[in-house]
Each structure stands twice: as C-alpha cells, then as structure tokens.
Structure 1
Amino acid sequence: MALMPVMASDQKTEAAVACVGKAIQITPVQQMVSSCSGAILTSMFVTPFDVVKIRLQAQKKPFVKGDCFLYCNGLMDHLCTCLNGNAVQKSSQWYKRPSRFAGTVDAFIKIPRNEGLLSLWSGLPPTLVMAVPATVVYFTCYEHAKEALGYDRRKSSDWWKPIVSGITARVWATSVISPIEMVRTKMQSEQLSYRAIMKAVVASVEQGGIKRMWMGWGPTLLRDVPFSGLYWFGYESVKSWVLVQHNRTELTFTESFLGGAISGTTAAVITLPFDVIKTHRQIELGQVMGTSRRASSTWVLISNLYRQQGFRVLFTGLVPRISKVAPACAIMISSFEYSKKLFRKMNYEKCLQTNSSQEMR
C-alpha cells in the first residue's frame, strides 16, 4: 500500500519533466504576440520624445512644402514630407501647429495643456500600421534563425550565431517593409488617393524597374544591419554571463531591461556614423521622390558631407540618439522576454492539466 503514493509521485515528476520540455518552445503565434506587445509599449513610451523634438525643430526652422524629416516611434524611422497646409490635410499637420517653447521640458508641459494629452502621440497610429508588423517579422525571424543555427549560450564558440541571426532578421524585415514605406512616403508627399497611388507605383516601376520599389533600402540597411548584429551579440553575451553566474535559465525583467539598454547603447555609439549618413540619405530620397530629378549616390553624399562639415559631422547627435535608442531597446527586449516567459508558464500549466486529465481517464 505504501508504494502507491510513491508511484503517483513518480508519475507526476515524469509528467512535469515532459511538460518542461514542451513549455520551453513557445509557438510562432506566441512569439508574434510577444513582439507585438513589446512594439506597442515601446512606441507608447518613445513617441512623445520624438514629437517634442520635431516640434522644436519646426519652431527653429519652419517646414515648407516638400521638406522632409524623420519621425521615429522607437521601432522604425519614418520619412515624413511637409504638406502645403490646405484644409483637407490640416488635421494631419501636427508638426506645424503654432507654439513657442522655451525648451524640451516646456514643450512637454505646453503641448498637453494647450492641445490635449494625446497630441504627444501625434502621428503614431499610421506608423504603427507598419512598425508593429515589421517588428513582429524581425523578432520572429531572429528567434527562428537562432534556433536553426543551433545556438547554445553555454558554448563560447557560438558567439557569432546571434550576429548572423540578427543580420538575417534585419535584412528580411527591411526588405518586406521597404516597398510599403516607399508607397506611404509617395502618397503623403503628393497627397494621392489610393487609386492614384497605384497608378503612380505602376508608372514608377515601368520607369525605373521593380528595384524602384526598394528605393531607400540600401541606406536603411547601412545602419540597421551593423546595429542589429552588434545589438544581439551584446544582449546574448550579457544574458549568457548573467545566467551562468547565477545558474539560472531565464533573466528577470530588470536584468532583461538593463541588458537591452547596455547592448542598445553600445551598438548605437558604434553605428552613429552610419546613422548620420542614413538620415541625410533618407531625407534626400524623400525630397526627390516626387520630382523628376535623380538622387545622388550614397558615396557622393558622404563626400559632400565630409567636404562641407568635416569628419566630425559623422558623430553629431550622439546624446539624442542614445537617449532614444537605450530606453527603446530596453523596453522592447524586456517586454518581449517577459511575454515569452508568461507563455512558457501558461504552456507548462496547460500541459500538466492535459496530462492529469488523460491519467484520470
């Protein structure tokens, strides 16, 4: 009689061990949901800072029709073209609203007071339409690439696998979203209807070939590929070190947050020259997109910048870049890891319940 509880206990232990293996591998849908939640949280936090930055820029040098600027929600840089101020488009011109701000803090106070709290998230909804799917593709692709390469954090020889996985994911995500971003920019710059934009896209492809749909793809990869490789290498290195030191299998939320901030800051500093070139290049492409003149090559742009402003131009904007990238990376990766942890727990409990039900039958 005494053997019965022992046998029951052994069966529970075996079921628990089997469920641990199943729970570790979350489903692709759960990976997508995890990255989606992180994307939304990141955008909600970072967007107000970029809205204030653009409003201060517009105050210092008012935008005129055809001017382009980069708007970032913490996940993607979106090229925006200044409109001409007619009544139809007036509601979308949040960047041209009249105000006088003494500085960043003053802008954070006056914008909600005079225009409503939601004004700090002006321009966010349309950019989320692309930013969230792009982030889902990026993180899901990274996870699958890392798994396909057989990455094992306990092996020091596997240090290169997060780099390759990050680069692969970034190239794929950028390639998928680049044509949509081009269409969005052209639609905004020329104020075209959906029917007119399709005609414009067809005409553009006939004139410059299918590669015209990926206009701006190169400058985007110029920064994002090195950043992605360095970021994932840094994050996985920090993660491996912490887990080995504490003999654990998962990071806490705080550890993920700090790891994302550290790796994001490091990658941002190293890739700053690429970011400067990419910003100038994208703005130039946006300004010629609605005209017949051709954009100069990236190398011509680099030589012009060097000739006009010297080598130091490649290292401008370090503090603003870090202040935006560090929290964005920290929020994104910690939310992503935390969501995956919740899904693993949910899968584990569901597996135990299923096994219990089968044993009772």
Structure 2
Amino acid sequence: MVADGKKSDISLAGTLGSSAFAACFAEICTIPLDTAKVRLQLQKKAVAGDALSLPKYRGMLGTVATIAREEGVAALWKGIVPGLHRQCLFGGLRIGMYEPVKNLYVGENFVGDVPLTKKILAALTTGALGITVANPTDLVKVRLQAEGKLQPGVPRRYTGAMNAYSTIVRKEGLAALWTGLGPNVARNAIINAAELASYDQVKQSILKIPGFTDNVVTHLFAGLGAGFFAVCIGSPVDVVKSRMMGDSAYKSTLDCFVKTLKNDGPLAFYKGFIPNFGRLGSWNVIMFLTLEQAKKFVKNMESS
C-alpha cells in the first residue's frame, strides 16, 4: 500500500490484479481455519443432560482434527472454489480500490498524512461495494463448509460450487444468492475498515520509528495488528452472517441476532474467536506480505 499523500506508482489494473492474487493466495493457505471457524459458529448450544447434544467441535485445533478424522483432510478445504471466486471479486475490489477511493476522499491535491477517519471511510466504502458484488460466492462457500459428515445413504446438498450456485437459484430463486447481504455488508465493511485502515495506520506509525523501513518486518507487524483489530470488531456480525447463511430458519438479521442472544447467550457472538483470529491474523499477514511483493513485481514489469 502506498504511503500517505502519494499516488499509486502502478496502474489500477495492476493494483486490482495484485490484490486479487494476494487475497487468493492467503485464502488457499488459511481456509482450513475458516472451515473450523464456520463449524464452531454454527454449532448450537448443548441441551443440559443430553449426552447426544454435547458439543462436537471443541477449539480450533480440536475442530480441525475432528473434521480431518471424520471427513478426510480434503474436507478442510471445502469451499475453496467459491472462496477463490470470492477473493478474486471481493479481495480484488476492496483492497485494489482502497487507495483510489482514499485519494478521492482527501482530494487530488492533498499532501501529508491522510487522517484516520478518511482511511476508515474509504475502507468502509470498498468493503461494502465489494461484498455486494461477491455475496453469492460467500453464501456458497459457507454452505459447502457447513456440511459435515453425513449418514450413509444421505446425499449431499451440493456436489460442488457450480452445482451449489445453480441449485440455490433453481430451488430458492436468484435473490437467495444474496441471503445474509445485510450482516455480510456490515461485517465486511467493518472488517475491511479494521484491516485496511489499521494496516495503513500501523504501518505509517512503525515507519516513523527510527530503524524501521518499508520491509517485510514492518509488513508483518502491521498485518498482525490489522488481523487483531478485524477480529475484535467484526466477530459478532461474522457469527450472525455465518448462521444466516448456514441455516435458513432465521427470518432476518435482527431475528438471528435475537435468537442467538436468547438461546446461546452473549458469548456466542465470539464463538470461534481463537480460530477466527488464527484465520484473520494469518490471512492478513500472508495477504499483505504477498500484496507488497506482488505490487513491487508489477511495478518492475510496468516500468521495464
């Protein structure tokens, strides 16, 4: 990401391509943790005294191990195809458009450090726009991840990503692809602001410390900071989004929020916090490190 007050030194197409590539690479590396997070979030509270309803999944590593043991290691990458669809669209747009939108908000002739409020506003904008386009890919990804081990003879709802898209449209209508759009826009706009604005701000602050330069160490610290802020701020809307997409019983965002609070308690909104941080923390580190290197590569390509 470029320094405050400076225009990008690569083309918009190069920025979008670098962003999509970095987001896809991070997705491939971390989707097992995302699958564990979705399973933990969808797990309902056990009924007292009912041995059969004891929590199946316990903790990040326990959930990963249970899925691998019962369904095979490949099941941890369930949803990778729509996940990559999502990152190409959403990742490319929200990250790639951040600098242009930020520059639009501060004005063409702005010089100096961009205010944090403008960074947050730019990231909220690109996050909301990006996920509005990419919501169908998110829905299919969650549905594929949510399906656990089935009883013998019970067919799977979907045979793959493309089958899921077509089945949802055929059985539920085209609008169903935008199920959960409300909490998804809220979640991704908020998390995008937490990620991109905090990365931008932390990186800017680190670079003012003597001895630090725009290198991998700086990108690593800034990426970890971005992941931590994103999880703390976005976890409640993330839980509501996963539950709405994974279970069609909820009538609306508010209905899902109220039922989750009533049935599972306030801590349910931070279910899967550790795997979520493991996922988003590592995702941000991998994505930002890859993005910085990809943009350098594109800059060299375009200037040669």
Confirm or deny a common fold (TM above 0.5): yes
Q: Residue by residue, what CA displacement relative to the aligned partner does 1:315-351 show, whole Å, maximum 9, x if unpaired?
A: 3332221111111011111211221123334444x2x
TM-score (norm 2): 0.70
* Match runs of 1:26-175 below 5 Å: 26-50=10-34, 104=61, 121-150=77-106, 154-155=112-113, 158-175=115-132
Matches of 2:40 and 2:164, distance apart in 1:
32
Matches of 1:160 and 1:27, distance apart in 2:
26
Alpha carbons of structure 1 residues 26 and 44: separation in structure 2 relative to 1, 3 Å: same
The 8 Å contact of residues 134 and 174 in structure 1, kept in 2 or not, is answered as: yes
Shift of 1:41: 2.1
Alpha carbons of structure 1 residues 161 and 272: separation in structure 2 relative to 1, 3 Å: same
Matches of 2:182 and 2:234, distance apart in 1:
15
Matches of 2:67 and 2:190, distance apart in 1:
38
Aligned twin of 1:305: 260
**Counterpart AA for 1:259:** A
Matches of 1:107 and 1:228, distance apart in 2:
26
Alpha carbons of structure 1 residues 141 and 109: separation in structure 2 relative to 1, 3 Å: same
The 8 Å contact of residues 42 and 332 in structure 1, kept in 2 or not, is answered as: yes
Matches of 1:281 and 1:314, distance apart in 2:
13
Count of aligned pairs: 271
Q: Tell me how large the CA RMSD over aligned residues is.
A: 4.3
**Counterpart AA for 1:170:** G
Shift of 1:133: 2.7
TM-score (norm 1): 0.61
Shift of 1:168: 1.0
Q: Is 1:333 the counterpart of 2:303 in the alignment?
A: no
Matches of 1:118 and 1:137, distance apart in 2:
29
Q: Is 1:267 the counterpart of 2:223 in the alignment?
A: no
Q: Residue by residue, what CA displacement relative to the aligned partner does 1:184-230 show, whole Å, maximum 9, x if unpaired?
A: 889984669699759728x836xxxxx55532211212322222222
Q: Is 1:225 the counterpart of 2:189 in the alignment?
A: yes
Q: Residue by residue, what CA displacement relative to the aligned partner does 1:10-38 show, whole Å, maximum 9, x if unpaired?
A: xxxxxxxxxxxx99520122112311331
Alpha carbons of structure 1 residues 204 and 32: separation in structure 2 relative to 1, 3 Å: same
The 8 Å contact of residues 41 and 243 in structure 2, kept in 1 or not, is answered as: no
The 8 Å contact of residues 154 and 240 in structure 1, kept in 2 or not, is answered as: no
Q: Is 1:256 the counterpart of 2:219 in the alignment?
A: yes
**Counterpart AA for 2:283:** A
Aligned twin of 2:241: 278
Counterpart of 2:208 in 1: which secondary structure? helix
Percent identity between matched residues is 20
Alpha carbons of structure 1 residues 261 and 215: separation in structure 2 relative to 1, 3 Å: same
Aligned twin of 1:88: none
Q: Is 1:296 the counterpart of 2:266 in the alignment?
A: no
Matches of 1:317 and 1:108, distance apart in 2:
15
- Structure ID, larger Rg: 1
Further displaced range: 128-137 or 329-338: 128-137
- Consecutive unaligned residues of structure 1, counting only runs of 5 or more, are 1-21, 59-102, 206-210, 289-294, 351-361
Shift of 1:161: 1.5
Shift of 1:270: 2.5
Matches of 1:195 and 1:229, distance apart in 2:
29
The 8 Å contact of residues 15 and 295 in structure 2, kept in 1 or not, is answered as: yes
